[in-house]
Structure formats: C-alpha cells, structure tokens
Structure 1
Amino acid sequence: MNNNQGAIIIGAGIAGLAAAIRLAVKGYKVNVFEKNPTAGGKIAQYSSKGYRFDAGPSLFTLPEKIEELFFLAGENTGDHFRYHKLETVCRYFFADGTVIDSFSDPEKFAAEMHHKTGENPENIISYLKKAKALYGFSSEIFIDNSFHKLSNYYTNKAFRKAGLKLWKLDPFFTMHQRNTRSFQSGKTIQLFDRYATYNGSSPYKTPATLKIIAHLEHNLGAYFPEKGMYDIAVQLQKLAERKGVVFHFNTIVEEVLFEGRQVSGVIAGGKPYRATVVVNDSDVATFYSTLMPEKKIPKRVLKGDRSTSAMIFYWGMKNTFSTLKLHNILFSNNYPEEFDHLFQKKTITSDPTIYIFISKKLVVSDAPEGKENWFVMINTPEDTGQDWSYLVRIARENIRNKIKKQLAVDVNDFIETEHVVTPKEIEKNTLSYHGSLYGSSSNSQFA
C-alpha cells in the first residue's frame, strides 16, 4: 500500500484544482485523481476543423478568487493568466424585436433598460444596491464559512448573526415574486428572472436570495480570459504542479477507504492510496452512490428537483455576425411554460430560451478568419430516460427557426461543422448525476 500521509483530491475540476493548490501551500503532499485525460471538469474544450470551443461554463466572475490562489502560492497572476472586464455582459433579444445590452456599469445598464423598456432607472439601481448588500451579508455565511455542519451554526459568529437577521436573505419570496414587486416592465422581470438558471433552478420556485447573482454581473462585473475559459483550468493545473501536486489522469476512484469512522484514503485505478485528508470534487449524489455505497446517502442530496441539464450545439459558422456579442440570449416568449416543461413535464419546449456564446469575438484564434465558433445551448431537464436523439432533432429545428426569425440568419447556410452534447454525454463526461449540471436545484425556500 502506498504510504501517502497527505491529501487526496477526487476530481480535477476547478474546485479540485483550487483545493489542491491550497493544501499544497499548507505543506500537504497532494495527489489528484481524475477519470478524464485533462483537468478542468466541466471547464473543457472541443476542437474541430480549425474551430476551438470552450465546452462548458462561459461566464467569468470574481477573478480575484483566481488571483488569491496565485497569491497564496507566492506568484503573480499576470505572469501566467490574464483577463479583461466586459463592458457588455450580454445582449438580450426579445420576441418582439427589442434588443437590450446588459452593461456591467449599473448606471449605464439602468439607462439602457429605461430606454428600451421604460423601466424606471431607480428601480434598477435600488435592486442592485439591495443585491450588493445581500451579497455582503450572505457571502460571510455561505462562501467564507462552511455551512455543511449544523454545529457551525452555533459556534460561528456569522451564523449566529444570520439567525437573528434571516429576513435579510429574502428567502420568503421566490425570485419571480421579488422581481415582480421590484420592476414595472415585463422584459425587466424576465431578464432578472433568468439569474435563477445560473444554478439550474426556476425563478418561479427558487428563493429571491439568488438575486445576489445580479450583483456579480452588474456591480462587480463580468470578465473573460485572454485565451478563453479553458485557460483557467490550464493555468491552475500548472500552478498546482509547480507546488508539487501530482495528477493521476485517466484514473477512476473506485472506493473511499475508512478506518473506523475516519476517512483514510481511496482505491484508485485498482490501487490503495492513504491520506489524512480526502476532498471530493465530484457530483455529491454520484460520490455517495458509487464511492461509498455502504454509507447512507443523506436525504438532502436526492431530495427535491434536480437542476437543469443542457443540450449544446457546437457550430463552426463560415461567416461573421456583427449583430451578436460574446454572450447572447434569445428569450422564450413564454417563460413560465419553458420552466413548466423543464421541471414538471421533463422535456423541452418548442420555444426555448437560446444562449449563444462566441469566444471568437475576443479570442481571434478560436476560429478561422472570417468565421465564428457558435456555442448554442438550451436548458433541458436531467436525463430521466427521454429519447435524446429525437429531442435533438426537434431542438435543432426550433433553434434554427427562432434564430431565423429573430436574427434573420438561416444557420443551415453557414454551419460547416457540428458537435452535439446532451445530458447523456454530460453525465458520461463529468459523472454528473443524471446529467444535472449543478446537482440539486434551489427550487425550495431554503435550498
């Protein structure tokens, strides 16, 4: 048996990489086990015929969290990883032809909303100020401290203070209810309702607490790496290796080992590895069901709705399109129906909200000259046995028709390469339970 009195990380996603760096800086001998051939987890990349696609997450906020890792490791972030702030976070297209640019500057964004929808600018500014205050209050609880142990609630000052001011978290209204009370325009409400989807939830169910996401985009700002999102994974892996972290790629962890009630290591690739610390950076439901089958899965892990998954079309487009920005949203004309299909009917609607991400807008090497790399995504339910081949055909046609109607572009005239990912592939590639991108959804009051 390998005598490794150090730390083991299960999964080389971004959280796993961050944990590995932090533990290595503290002096642990760190081994990271990853079933895939590369690090990054859901932050991955795909290439075809001269096109490169960031295959997973595409919105970059809180870059200081990356800088903190380099600082802890005694290095300068700018020597390895560079990024820029976005002036326009996203361009929104509505069914009636309205186009709204979502600016990172709150005042400019409020003016845009007033000009395009008639929304009172003060409503926007007030909402974002409240979101900022909520973030300052909630981050002390949920980000800067561990919330997984009940004992922490009684021993930590921030948790005790939260108990006295629970109303500040705004948990008693859904996001949609809060937005309806905050704004006059239906378009403004829909735009802010969308933030529930950032962790795979429904604005009609998730608590208004998640309005803090608007603070990240409009008060703190959104950013983009000079070399694309995948460079985050590349640079964090290199940083970890410089700190002595050892990576074991193409290696599946089969079991978590215990000595009594204490975790003592893992079996990976058929070999036992001992460690005093084991950190899991894989889907929690998958972790319990496959790596600790004899342990009882906590009810909260499988309770309630699973988060949404996604269907993604990676299209190499033999043209450029000035109408589109880096991030683009074509809204459904019936948002309640879309979420009813996702969470109740467990299928896709004929009028889905479409997200189009084009990294070529900022990373010129991501597509040949005069061409663009379109990452086209719609939300889907998790995999419960649907016929995904059929749904891909239906979705492709619905997406084509919607883009043709709203952008006056027939994508069939320009697609020269296509790759499609469904919840089935997402589960296979990332071990996400049933392909849910974010595990459990936040579709309950205290999710």
Structure 2
Amino acid sequence: MRAVVVGSGIGGLATAIRLRKLGYKVIILEKNEKIGGRMDYIESNGYFFDTGPTLLLMLKPLIELFKEVEENINDYLNLVKIDPLYRVYFKDGSFLEPSNDLAYYVRQVSLKEFKNLLKFYSDIAYMYNDTIYNFVEKNYYSVFDFLNLRSVKLLLKHKMLDNLYYRVSRYFDDYRLIFANTFQSMYLGISPFNAPFVYTVVNYMEAIEGIYYPIGGMYQIVKSLEKILNKMNLRILRETEVKEIDKKTNTIYTNKGFFDADVIVINADLPYAKSELLNEKLPNYDYSCSTIMLYVGYEGSTNMLHHNVFLTDNYKQSFESIFNKGIIPNDLSFYVNISSKTDRIQSPKNCENIYILIPVPNLKVLRE
C-alpha cells in the first residue's frame, strides 16, 4: 500500500511515521527546501529565532509518538521545563508570574484569591480529564460521533460552551487574575470574549502539566522526527509543490510529475487545501487574527523572562478592535519570547534574541 503525505509540518511528519509503522510505503511531498512547516527558524549574525510555536505543551502525544516506534524521546530532545511559566505585565506597573510551584504563586496574591485560583484549577482539571478522553483523543467520522448523549451530558455538566471571559471572571475579584487566565485563547487565535469556556483546558496544560522548551530551539523537534524518518528509510521529496489532487483517481500532480497513492494525507491549512489543491469552493469561514512579528537582536540584557505577556488596561476594547472592528488598537497587548534566557546558544554572548508578537486584525476583516 502506498501513502503520500502532502506537507512536512509536524502533523505530516508524525502521520508519515505512523503510516510507515503500519507497513505503508510512504512519500512526503514538501514544496519548500526546509521541512517543518510553520515550525521554522531564522538565523542572523548569531541570533536564532523560532518563527512558529514557542510554547511546548501536552508532552504526552509527542512522547507516545516516539514510543510507537520504540524510541526514547530523551535520546533526541533535551526538554527543559519553564517555570515561572511567564510574566504577565499590567499597565499599573505590577506583574504576575504564574507558576507550577503553587508555594511561589501564593505569595503574589491574597489568600482569598489564591483559594479562588485553586477552585478554578480544580474545575478545569476535572473538565480537562473529561475533554481529553471524550473529545480530543477521539476520531470523528460523522457529526453523530460528536453529538451523542454522552457528549451532550459532558457539555452541560461542565458548561463548556459558556463564554470564557465572563465565566472566568466569576472566580476572581482581582482583574489581573481574570486577564492572566483568559488571554490563553489567543494561542488559538480567538478572543476570550468570543471563546467557549472549554478552551481553559489550555490553562490546565500550562499550570498543571507545564510549559517545556527543547534546548537548541523548537526546530529540534523537527530534526528529531527527521532522524526517525531516516531510520525508517522514508522518502521526503523537497521543493516538490503539489498543484492539484484528483480525489477520483487518487492522483497528485506536482511541479515534478504526478504520484498515485492508495492513501493521501493533506497536512496543509484547510482553506488552502480546499481551494488550491482540491479545487473546492470555500465556505464563508471566519478567520483568526493576524500578527505583526518583530525579531530583534539585542545587545545587552533585559529583566524579562523566557515568556512575557504585556496586557493593556483596555482589554475588552482591544479585542473588539482586532476581531470585530478590523482596526489596530491604540493600546496594544503583545507577547515577548526570549529563548536565550534559557538557552544561551540562541544569541551571542551578553546579548538576547527578542521575539515580539503583536496581534492585529486579519486582512479579510480589514478589507470589510
């Protein structure tokens, strides 16, 4: 049986490994010279910057992938737990440092608010356990796999579809704890004022399971999977751009000829795959926000942490501007990553690699 994976992002690489383990002859088609998809990096004058994901959460699926092919993840990656998780800055000059060490966290808030925090963590941990086993780690072949009696009961039990921001705000009096426990929906490109409460499972992943970083940068994950692919004699055809996929004949047309397959896996963005590869008309999707990215090689040292979040006082107005009005807010929230705080080889001596991510409206919203 022949399988072709279109795209060498993390999902494509992991799928190829599993298909090969099942006995398929697998080829990965990658249009770029470098594999990894969005998990990429740039290097300039001794500064290294991850250009895709910067937080590694939920280690379990990655560990299981290595185990499935009888490999030990620790032989490939030096994973470091980041704690405090990040520093959240507020306009009044104060900050919070959420931590896996609750004894450290309790010193930053009142006893009442700490009890509220424990209640919040308890509730989302309970919801997380039900969500992972009944929603996340499950294949969906039809709408009935999701809309069944058990799923509906769990949705109602945890009130998963409640508005995220307003539900979280019921736990705390301190606005800083509300802000610090709602901005995480932006990892998924969704305003906390539009997101369902179930997305707070991300908070659980951070606070209870932790945030990790692979020494050498996030691209080390790609390199480790490439080593496994090489061990399995799996072919990656680089600079091979897929032009069209004929679903009737299972034929893939590229700039270097065509490929037939018994199984085709498309590891590309859904809108791109539908419109460009399958020639299908796109539904009227609502897209997430866009970003402005800055990569700064800084000569000197800052007092920031590995992960830093700067939140505006105009929290709700900022999100409304980005997601509803299509305008760039006057007062911006943004994220700063400095991996050289943990991994000194990411920048020259006595320097720092400062990655700045600023959420802005996407082009579709701006045009409208």
Structure 1 position 232, deviation (Å)? 0.9
SS at match of 1:84: strand
Match of 1:68 in 2: 64
Alignment of 1:225-264 (within 5 A): 225-259=214-248, 264=250
Structure 1 position 258, deviation (Å)? 2.4
Alignment of 1:16-165 (within 5 A): 16-106=12-102, 108-109=104-105, 111-115=106-110, 120-147=113-140, 149-153=142-146, 160-165=149-154
2:177 counterpart letter in structure 1 = T
Structure 1 position 278, deviation (Å)? 1.1
- Choose from 2, 8, 22 the match for 2:4: 8
Match of 1:354 in 2: 334
Q: 1:37 to 1:173 in 2, by over 3 A?
A: same
SS at match of 2:292: strand
Q: 1:204 to 1:373 in 2, by over 3 A?
A: same
Match of 1:269 in 2: 255
2:22 counterpart letter in structure 1 = K
- Choose from 270, 280, 298 the match for 1:317: 298
Residues 318 and 370 of structure 1 are in contact (CA less than 8 Å); yes or no, is this contact kept in structure 2? yes
Superposed CA deviations along residues 298-325 of structure 1, whole A, max 9, x for unmatched, are x4xx33x31112111000001011x211
**What stretches of structure 1 of length at least 5 have no aligned partner?**
388-447
Superposed CA deviations along residues 132-156 of structure 1, whole A, max 9, x for unmatched, are 11111111233211235224347xx
* In structure 2, C-alpha distance between the alignment counterparts of 1:266 and 1:189, rounded to whole Å: 49
- Choose from 242, 262, 269 the match for 1:283: 269
SS at match of 2:250: strand
* In structure 2, C-alpha distance between the alignment counterparts of 1:148 and 1:182, rounded to whole Å: 37
Superposed CA deviations along residues 388-447 of structure 1, whole A, max 9, x for unmatched, are xxxxxxxxxxxxxxxxxxxxxxxxxxxxxxxxxxxxxxxxxxxxxxxxxxxxxxxxxxxx
Match of 1:369 in 2: 349
- Choose from 161, 164, 181 the match for 1:175: 164
Residues 323 and 365 of structure 2 are in contact (CA less than 8 Å); yes or no, is this contact kept in structure 1? no
* In structure 1, C-alpha distance between the alignment counterparts of 2:165 and 2:252, rounded to whole Å: 44
Alignment of 1:178-257 (within 5 A): 178-257=167-246
Cα RMSD, aligned residues only: 1.9
Alignment of 1:408-427 (within 5 A): none
Q: Does 1:337 align with 2:320?
A: no
SS at match of 1:233: helix
Q: 1:106 to 1:215 in 2, by over 3 A?
A: farther
Structure 1 position 165, deviation (Å)? 2.9
Structure 1 position 203, deviation (Å)? 0.8
* In structure 2, C-alpha distance between the alignment counterparts of 1:97 and 1:49, rounded to whole Å: 34
Residues 106 and 219 of structure 1 are in contact (CA less than 8 Å); yes or no, is this contact kept in structure 2? no
* In structure 1, C-alpha distance between the alignment counterparts of 2:233 and 2:126, rounded to whole Å: 40
Residues 24 and 244 of structure 1 are in contact (CA less than 8 Å); yes or no, is this contact kept in structure 2? no
Structure 1 position 365, deviation (Å)? 0.9
* In structure 1, C-alpha distance between the alignment counterparts of 2:160 and 2:60, rounded to whole Å: 28
SS at match of 2:169: helix
Q: Count residues with an aligned counterpart.
A: 367
* In structure 1, C-alpha distance between the alignment counterparts of 2:324 and 2:207, rounded to whole Å: 32
Q: 1:179 to 1:333 in 2, by over 3 A?
A: same
Residues 6 and 29 of structure 1 are in contact (CA less than 8 Å); yes or no, is this contact kept in structure 2? yes
1:341 counterpart letter in structure 2 = S
* In structure 2, C-alpha distance between the alignment counterparts of 1:81 and 1:151, rounded to whole Å: 39
Under a length normalisation based on structure 2, what TM-score does the superposition of the two structures give? Answer: 0.94
* In structure 2, C-alpha distance between the alignment counterparts of 1:281 and 1:71, rounded to whole Å: 22
2:95 counterpart letter in structure 1 = V
Under a length normalisation based on structure 1, what TM-score does the superposition of the two structures give? Answer: 0.78
**What stretches of structure 2 of length at least 5 have no aligned partner?**
none
Residues 309 and 381 of structure 1 are in contact (CA less than 8 Å); yes or no, is this contact kept in structure 2? yes
Residues 328 and 356 of structure 1 are in contact (CA less than 8 Å); yes or no, is this contact kept in structure 2? yes
Residues 81 and 225 of structure 1 are in contact (CA less than 8 Å); yes or no, is this contact kept in structure 2? yes
Residues 113 and 119 of structure 1 are in contact (CA less than 8 Å); yes or no, is this contact kept in structure 2? no
* In structure 1, C-alpha distance between the alignment counterparts of 2:244 and 2:158, rounded to whole Å: 38
* In structure 2, C-alpha distance between the alignment counterparts of 1:238 and 1:279, rounded to whole Å: 21
Superposed CA deviations along residues 283-308 of structure 1, whole A, max 9, x for unmatched, are 10111011111x454x4xx33x3111
Structure 1 position 224, deviation (Å)? 0.9
Residues 155 and 161 of structure 2 are in contact (CA less than 8 Å); yes or no, is this contact kept in structure 1? no
Residues 94 and 330 of structure 1 are in contact (CA less than 8 Å); yes or no, is this contact kept in structure 2? yes
1:77 counterpart letter in structure 2 = I
* In structure 1, C-alpha distance between the alignment counterparts of 2:134 and 2:271, rounded to whole Å: 24
Which shifted more, 340-349 or 198-207? 340-349
Q: Does 1:328 align with 2:328?
A: no
Structure 1 position 230, deviation (Å)? 1.1
Match of 1:440 in 2: none
1:124 counterpart letter in structure 2 = L
* In structure 2, C-alpha distance between the alignment counterparts of 1:224 and 1:246, rounded to whole Å: 28
The percentage of counterpart residues that share the same residue type is 26
Residues 313 and 377 of structure 1 are in contact (CA less than 8 Å); yes or no, is this contact kept in structure 2? yes
Match of 1:445 in 2: none
Match of 1:392 in 2: none
Superposed CA deviations along residues 251-309 of structure 1, whole A, max 9, x for unmatched, are 211111223xxx6231122422111111111110111011111x454x4xx33x31112
